[in-house]
Amino acid sequence: MKRTLLGLLVLLICIVAGIMFKMKQSILPAETVSGMIGGEKSQFLEDSLIVKILRNRYGLIVDARKEGSIELVQGDPKGKDFLWPSSQVALEIFKERHAGVSFKTDQIFSSPLVLFSWDLVTKALVAQKYAQERNGVWYITDLTGLIQAVVDGKKWSDLGVSELYGRVSLISTDPNRSNSGSLFAGLIAALLAGDQLNDSTLAEVTPAVKQYFDGLGFMESSSSDLFNQYLSTGVGAKPIIAGYENQIIEYSLAHPDQWPVVKEKVRLLYPEPTVWSAHPFIALTPKAEKLMKALKDPEIQKIAWERHGFRTDLVATTAASEVNGRVIGIAPSISKVIPLPAPHILNNLLGSLKNN
Amino acid sequence: MFRILITILFLLTVGCKKESLTILSGSENESLKPLLEEFGRTHGASIELKTMGSVDIMRRLQNDSLSEYDAIWPAASMWLALGDAHKRVSQSKSIMTSPVVFGIKKSLAQKLGFVGRDVTVAEILAAVQRGDLRFTMTSATQSNSGAMAYLGFLSAFAENPQTLSQEQLQDTVLLNRMTALLSGINRSSGSSGWLKELFLKGDYDAMVNYESLIIETNHVRIGRGEEPLYIVYPRDGLSISDSPLGSLTQDEKKRELFNELQEWLLSTPIQKRIAAQGRRTGLGASASTEFMSSVDTAWGISANRILAPVPLPAAAQILEALNLYQTRLRKPSLTVFCLDFSGSMEGTGSAQLKEAMNLLLDAQRSKEHLIQPGYRDITVIIPFSNELQPYKIVEGNSDSAMAELNRFVESLEPSGGTDIYSPAIQALSIIESYSETEYIPAVVLMTDGESNTGANQDALRLALGKVNRDIPIFSISFGDASQDQLDEIATMSRAAVFKGQDDLVGAFRKVKGYN
């Protein structure tokens, strides 16, 4: 008897909850906006805070599928509301490929290319003058020198890291499949060319860039996979990797349990100069234009930085404070930046890195 | 009235169908099944693990729809990267890590001088060449632990270049050293989990396997009062498998369940429990307190050791290296197929059997599955019914020899009754006529019936004792084969029974990966 009453009660609660849920849903009519994104933004778009603001304030539901930035702008845009790659180069390729398609674009946020390493290795990099610590932030001041050490096949013991076996390595994702890899290839080429990368200097520096990437052997095709492996397999397997600044900030929030341990061991290193990974939004329909405007909502922009590490115009004003308290060594501003090589130059470079 | 309400409530509960997740996984995750069941109980879901070798997982990812699976959990992300051309795997995250190592009986490790210091692959090779060390290891072309160990050894023999090049893979000195090292293998297998079981059944000196499986082995051995295996981390040829769990499903509900499972597995309390089972969890393959409390430092495990694996070569070189292993470098196999051509095989039975043998013998088709014969392999085919029929032996892998074997199989016609013991006994005597140390032998007995005439089990046991060599008699059951008879043969020869009823070709393919 008692059990029956309890059952009835549960049933009643279920019905009421169901009705309330339905009512809540119908507050604002929503339209679904669908498109393709670079994978590094999926956690941002799945963030319940972002979903709520877009739904309640703008009546938008986002249906985003992941693809590599370069691939997604080359596909047929028909039937899609928007494309959201992770680099300016991808936008240029889109313009070239789909000359007749009308669209609007806006820069939503960006993240600098950085290196991730470990306390043990960073100490040696500073001692060897490849890196420098200034005001609690680590900078790679001689990236060309470090790349040269890798290409020359120097051993960790040559750099004074006796704990590590084998050769110095700085691991990147596959430049032909991943945006971070292609940005890194562009950065190295530009540095080797003394920041004067044009058709003729490209030919001069390509062999060295190629030698570096050939030496990497097996390359991951996604920056998030490489970052995860960096953390799971450690300093012996992944002593230094290339990635985006926002990855470590996003990780720090997503893994509060692990973070206190990780925080002490990992090091964020800013190459000087570095390049930006921009996130240009390509709106193909009026619905998508609404989404593009909504993404500039100050609250969304704040969440983008604080919870996902994407730098926005607001970073300077809200300061890095909250994020800084959590993550060690976040640079207050990124001042030394070089522009990405022109799209056709980068394309040629990536083409010559392809062979295997 | 109440009765009606109760019925309604009951129907509502039934209506809420339990969500399920089927995971395609490497065999090394077998021991995590209780943990997955616990998740199922606490989350009202059912989690099913279907295990397969890494190379098969890669192939399936390349070619099949995999619609029967919702998630994928191979031993290492290398296989996802090599296989996932269609980008179907999403959200893959490493659940735990384990290095691939040598486990050597402690007393032998001491005798070899491997205790308490770093050991190089060259030193291991020297011990093999002196005849002081023989070991078991899974096939590099079937199982992840074998593949990673092999790639690690290659890098060491090439003096740890940044990455292995095509030229190095053609260097005869390097290839000869690799061949010499692999000649130390006395038993192989298609699965690391099975290798561990085999090791516990037999009396072997050493095994190449995951650190986690060596730890599991040691717990059993200590329980039996046997000496533990000492773990050697080859300094210049180490690999780490990172056990990524990724999603394959597009279904929203299943996806949610996947996310819950992945989060649960990565949550601190569960990570600690996984570590207590001898897996490394947490940051950088480190040895956590929980991990260290599950092991004995006398086994060679140290909390301070930084695991520095060798970098993997590019995809093209990995595939080339695996091909080289299969056709040139691995210890040659001596395989005797005993094929049932009794009357009951008439029709589809014999057609499927011929199809299966064609897959093994056809150069192109066998290469796709990386089970192609090598140039030093010996292949014997004994057709049988209630009496033995003339058999055929072929040495090497030349096109003409393989074609001849194929034609031989094609020409066979089913008739008569079934005697499975006589061909097995004959297989043993054929194997006995070859050198014991030069080959990895195996008998593959395929049958569709109960043995009811001719020789019996005792005669086979006697013959096995007389030969006095470690020769596994694998069976493939088909039709109405007697499971009891085949299980008994597997037990006496430390082998396994593969079920061919649903997929005879698949069973042959699988068994070929075991020697």
Domains and CATH numbers, chain B: 2-96+243-285 (3.40.190.10), 98-241+303-322 (3.40.190.10), 332-512 (3.40.50.410)
Q: B434 Cβ partners below 8 Å, 6+ apart?
A: B334, B378, B441
pLDDT at B198: 96
**Mean pLDDT confidence for B163-183:** 95
Higher pLDDT, A71 or A184: A184
**Mean pLDDT confidence for B114-133:** 97
**Mean pLDDT confidence for B330-358:** 93
How far is Cα A132 from Cα A141, in angstroms, rounded to an integer?
7
Domain A112-276+333-352 has CATH 3.40.190.10: yes
The domain limits of chain A are: 30-110+278-326, 112-276+333-352
Residues of A with CB below 8 A from B236's CB?
165-166
How far is Cα B438 from Cα B458, in angstroms, rounded to an integer?
29
How far is Cα A173 from Cα B277, in angstroms, rounded to an integer?
32
Instruction: Strands of chain A (E only): list them.
Output: 31-37, 60-66, 82-84, 104-118, 131-134, 137-140, 241-244, 266-271, 276-283
Report cis status (omega within 30 of 0) of the bond before B99: no
**Mean pLDDT confidence for B65-93:** 89
pLDDT at A322: 63
Higher pLDDT, B22 or A347: B22
User: For A162-178, how does the pLDDT look when each residue is reduced to its tens digit (9 = 90+)?
Assistant: 989 899 999 999 998 88
**Mean pLDDT confidence for A317-328:** 62
Residue B344: strand, helix, or coil = helix
The ipTM estimated for the assembled molecules is 0.84
Residue of chain A whose Cα is closest to the Cα of B1: A4
**DSSP result, B244-286:** EEEE----HHHHHHHHHHHHHHHSHHHHHHHHTTT-B-SGGG-
- Cα end-to-end span (Å), chain A: 73
- Whose tokens are 């590599």? That residue is A68
Percent of chain B beyond pLDDT 70? 97
**Mean pLDDT confidence for B85-91:** 82
B321 touches chain A (CB under 8 A): no
How far is Cα A42 from Cα A280, in angstroms, rounded to an integer?
15
pLDDT at A2: 59
A265 touches chain B (CB under 8 A): yes
Q: Are A78 and A332 in contact (CB under 8 A)?
A: no
**DSSP result, B497-508:** EEE-SS-HHHHH
Query: What's the topology of domain A30-110+278-326?
Result: D-Maltodextrin-Binding Protein; domain 2 (3.40.190)
Closest CA to A242 of A266, A269, A262, A217: A269
Q: B241 Cβ partners below 8 Å, 6+ apart?
A: B28, B75, B76, B97, B98, B99, B100, B144, B145, B148, B210
Residue B137: strand, helix, or coil = coil
Residue B402: strand, helix, or coil = helix
- Over 90: is that where the pLDDT of B178 sits? yes
Residue A75 to chain B, least CA–CA distance (Å): 15
Q: Are B247 and B70 in contact (CB under 8 A)?
A: yes
**Mean pLDDT confidence for A316-327:** 60
**Mean pLDDT confidence for B165-171:** 94
Quote the tokens at residue B127: 């011990």
User: For B350-387, how does the pLDDT look when each residue is reduced to its tens digit (9 = 90+)?
Assistant: 999 999 999 999 888 888 888 899 999 999 999 999 98
* Range scoring the smallest mean pLDDT among A64-73, A234-243, B166-175: A64-73
Residues of B with CB below 8 A from A220's CB?
77, 81
Residue B315 to chain A, least CA–CA distance (Å): 6
Rg of chain A on CA atoms, in Å = 23
Where does residue B92 rank: exposed (0-12), middle (13-18), buried (19+ CB within 10 A)?
buried
Higher pLDDT, A26 or B510: B510
* Range scoring the smallest mean pLDDT among A181-190, A310-319, B96-105, B265-274: A310-319
What average pLDDT does chain B have? Answer: 92
- Over 50: is that where the pLDDT of B327 sits? yes
- Over 60: is that where the pLDDT of B15 sits? no
Q: Which of B87, B97, B163 sits opposite A216 (nearest CB)?
A: B163
pLDDT at B14: 46
Higher pLDDT, A343 or B224: B224
Subunit contact B311:A4, Cβ cutoff 8 A: no
B3 touches chain A (CB under 8 A): no
**Mean pLDDT confidence for B99-125:** 97
* Range scoring the smallest mean pLDDT among A26-35, B118-127, B436-445, B454-463: A26-35
> Residue B333 CB: number of other CB atoms within 10 A?
20
Give residue B9's pLDDT band: very low, low, confident or very high (50, 70, 90). low
Instruction: Strands of B303-447 (E only): list them.
Output: 333-340, 378-384, 392-395, 440-447
pLDDT at A30: 87
- Over 80: is that where the pLDDT of B4 sits? no
Subunit contact B307:A66, Cβ cutoff 8 A: no
Subunit contact A7:B87, Cβ cutoff 8 A: no
- Over 50: is that where the pLDDT of A46 sits? yes
DSSP H helical ranges for B16-50: 33-43
User: For B276-291, how does the pLDDT look when each residue is reduced to its tens digit (9 = 90+)?
Assistant: 999 999 888 889 999 9
- Over 70: is that where the pLDDT of B8 sits? no
Residue B498 phi, psi dihedral angles, 5° rounding: -105, 130
Higher pLDDT, A254 or A172: A172
B12 touches chain A (CB under 8 A): yes
Beta bridge partners of B339: B383, B446
